Amino acid sequence: MAILQKPHMQEQKNIIECYNKTAENYAEKFLNELDQKHFDRILLTAFCEQNKNKGQLIDFGCGPGQTTNFIYNCGLENILGTDLSDEMVKVAKRHNPTINFEQADLLNLKYKDNAFGAAIAFYAIVHFDYDQIKTALTEVKRILVDKGEFVFSFHIGKEIVYLDNFLDKEVNIKFQFFEVERIKALIEEVGFEIVDILKRQPYETEYQTERAYIWTRKNCH
């Protein structure tokens, strides 16, 4: 069993090292990215309005806190931002001192069952494979209250992009694109109800891939 887990453990180590190295540069480049993403702002505003009074919201893969901050400013102030990278969490705290941030692993969450009213993960799954996405979905479902909603986004496609340099730092990391139908099947297998599946074309400032946003709701068995 340990042999089977070793590649995933090494990949996770590479992810942490990548974002620990690039945290400051990442914040400089992406902290205000939502200013250029009209669709994302509309979707996040709607999600906030729908989930404002349902308990604490958790933001996975928060990076420097750009999405967390947007949600907070929409009026959903009971929010927790999380990231796998300790350095990214430090950067997020510095840029958003009124918001709570902490380290968390989406594949092995430390939170109790039914602890959160809603969750988001904007591009937090881009380093996972399909098996890991199923694990992450299972964990998110576990920590959400019944009928708790979860929206997440990803790049559409079949490619895997390997990088040895990211934001002027030497790294060893992969970005994976996903097929919507395969993600949809995993969602249904885990036991989420699909509220909506939305797609958009990339903005000029983005990597040129089509994007998917899937809004889900935890079934009550």
Give pLDDT, residue 9. 78
Sequence spans of domains, the chain: 2-218
Chain centroid to Cα 99, Å, comes to 17
Judge whether 61 and 26 are in contact, CB under 8 Å: no
Q: Are 199 and 210 in contact (CB under 8 A)?
A: yes
| Res 221: pLDDT | 60
For residues 184 and 130, the answer to whether their CB atoms sit within 8 Å is: no
- Can you give the pLDDT at residue 219? 87
Answer for the pair 84, 105: CB distance below 8 angstroms, yes or no.
Answer: yes
pLDDT of residue 3: 38
pTM across the whole model: 0.94
List per-residue pLDDT tens for the chain, 221 residues long.
333 445 577 789 999 999 999 999 999 999 999 999 999 999 999 999 999 999 999 999 999 999 999 999 999 999 999 999 999 999 999 999 999 999 999 999 999 999 999 999 999 999 999 999 999 999 999 999 999 999 999 999 999 999 999 999 999 999 999 999 999 999 999 999 999 999 999 999 899 999 999 999 998 76
Q: What kind and span of H or E run contains 124?
A: none
CATH 3.40.50.150 correct for 2-218: yes
Determine the pLDDT at residue 2: 36
Chain mean position to CA 110: 16
Strand, helix or coil for residue 62: coil
